[in-house]
Amino acid sequence: MLQTRKLAGKEVMSIGLGCMNLSHAYNHPLPEKEAKALIDKALDLGVNHFDTATLYGFGANENLLGTSSLKAKRSQIFLASKCGMAGVNGKRVIDGRPATIKAQCNESLKRLATDHLDLYYLHRRDFTVPIEESVGALADLVKEGKIRAIGLSEVSANTLQQAHAIHPIAAVQNEYSLWSRNPELGLLETCKKLKVALVAFSPVARGFLASSINLHSLPKNDIRLAMPRFQEPQWSHNQQLFKQFAQIAQQANCSPAQLALYWLLRQSDWVIPIPGTTNINHLQENIATINLDIADDILTQVTQLINQQTVQGNRYPKATLAEIDTESFSEE
């Protein structure tokens, strides 16, 4: 069954809404009225899992959600946010110290206009702070009732096991898609073993698997422009892969984005994709994926077409790769 999945002991729609790009990272932030209309539509479609972070828009994304219609339906939704990476004096700073985690949680609760979070992730592992200390602070927040469950983001199977020994971890949020297979290097199996949800961010490859992207139309601060996969000569090669992928989606009578999301849902019952979008039509298209039935031979074709061996370019620049804890392929 593709319609629902378990997350932190609760049943959620198998596709959630990643809210980052309403305020952060891609293109320009969506005007508030339009962003709230998209959230309203998500609720109408049955979406009950919304994901944000302290970092997104340096607090703006949490403020947006806290003043949206989510507030009136708080008891009906699953609300997740992240700590340990925030905007400080205009710069992104990773800080996993217990005092920082607790202060950021209090600030997030205020911005989100709620007294608790259903799931609170450590957004990045701070290599200067033992993971036991960061998780210990999150465990304190559970005891205080400010968060219901603990998550980790961009971590390895080994770190998950270390953290899980301190306090049960409900979810790991890592990049996972046809073109980013890092969780298959051990994390996915560890999640299954420990019964931890794998929340897949960028499930349509930062838009690459959704439509033909015109890089020249992107604003200079769009984070994709700094990523090797979106730079030449890698970009021209990867675009050829997308053209073939789009043809296979057409054969399957679905959109490219739907094929990418369906592929993820079929990898494991523990995988929960959280695509983001600023377009209501795309939102409807994404959510409709849960009712599709795509043949196994189609999934086999795209598995072979787009993978770590066929895609060119790393998923992050070298400086960012050095900050994250996920398993990596030898070429990264």
Burial annotation 144-180 (CB, 10 A radius, 16+ → b, else e): eebbbbbbbbbbbbebbebbbebbebbbbbbbbbbbb
Is the model's pTM score more than 0.95? Answer: yes
**Collapsing DSSP states into helix, strand and coil, what is residue 150?**
strand
Residue 1 has pLDDT above 70, yes or no: no
Read off the pLDDT of residues 45-73 as tens digits, 9 standing for 90 and up.
Answer: 999 999 999 999 999 999 999 999 999 99
How many domains does the structure of the chain reveal?
1
Domain span at 96: 4-205+267-293
Catalytic residue of the set 26, 56, 121, 176: 56
User: What span, in angstroms and rounded, lies between the C-alpha atoms of 64 and 60?
Assistant: 6
User: In angstroms, how far is the first alpha carbon of the chain from the final one?
Assistant: 35
The string of pLDDT tens digits covering residues 290-320 is 999 999 999 999 999 999 999 999 999 999 9
| Average pLDDT of the residues in 140-144 | 98
In a domain? residue 229 = no
Residue 307 domain-assigned (yes or no): no
185: CATH: 3.20.20.100
What pLDDT, on a 0 to 100 scale, did the predictor assign at position 197?
98
Average pLDDT, the chain: 96
In a domain, 324, yes or no: no
Whether residue 25 is predicted with pLDDT greater than 90 in this model: the reply is no
Is 332's pLDDT higher than 70? no
pLDDT for the residue numbered 27:
84
DSSP string, 19-42: -GGGTSSSSSPPPHHHHHHHHHHH
Active-site residue flag, 56: yes
Report the pLDDT value the prediction gives residue 212, as an integer from 0 to 100.
86
Q: Give tens-digit pLDDT for 94-137.
A: 999 999 999 999 999 999 999 999 999 999 999 999 999 999 99
pLDDT band at 331 (very low <50, low <70, confident <90, very high): low
pLDDT band for position 2 (50/70/90)? confident
Residue 154 has pLDDT above 80, yes or no: yes
Determine, yes or no, domain membership for 306: no
Residue-wise pLDDT for 76-92, tens only, equals: 999 999 999 999 988 99
Residue type, 42: A
Flag whether 323 is in a domain: no
Among 8, 14, 11, 99, smallest CA distance to 274 is for 14
Q: How confident is the model at residue 28, as a pLDDT?
A: 84
Residue 154 lies in a domain: yes
Q: Does any domain span residue 285?
A: yes
Residue 215 belongs to some domain of the structure: no
Number of DSSP helices (H) and strands (E) in the chain, helices first: 11, 12
